[in-house]
Amino acid sequence: MTLEVLGSALARLSRSGNRGYVLGAIATLGLGIGAVIVIAGLLCALLLAPLGMRDEDRVVHIAERKDGNGVVDFAVASGNFLAWQDLAFSLQSAAAFN
């Protein structure tokens, strides 16, 4: 859609007495476009940004697995985590999150 077509469409709508409709449509489009831009910016900042730590290619996720009852990759028991933290010689450090 070119700018001339958009301008003529807005001019016709405003001349026909539908100014409230035109303002409502413009406000709705503005809010929608603004919301999409904000959400895209947040997703980019939260999901695509680097982790902010050195050697982030060495970060791993460790989880327990229990196949007997169909539960896969569930939370690690605190006792197991503490044992892994104390006994793991291949990890520089370990942290848990909830």
pLDDT in tens, 35-81: 999 999 999 888 887 777 788 788 888 777 776 766 666 678 888 88
Alpha carbons 9 and 74: distance in angstroms, whole number: 57
User: In Å, what is the CA distance from 82 to each residue of 60, 73, 86?
Assistant: 17, 18, 6
- pTM higher than 0.85, yes or no? no
Lowest mean pLDDT, pick from 3-7, 50-54, 93-97: 50-54
Alpha carbons 47 and 44: distance in angstroms, whole number: 6
User: In Å, what is the CA distance from 50 to each residue of 56, 57, 58, 95?
Assistant: 8, 10, 13, 18
Of the CA atoms within 13 Å of residue 51, those in its CB half-sphere come to 8
Whole-number pLDDT of residue 1: 58
Q: Is residue 86 over pLDDT 80?
A: yes
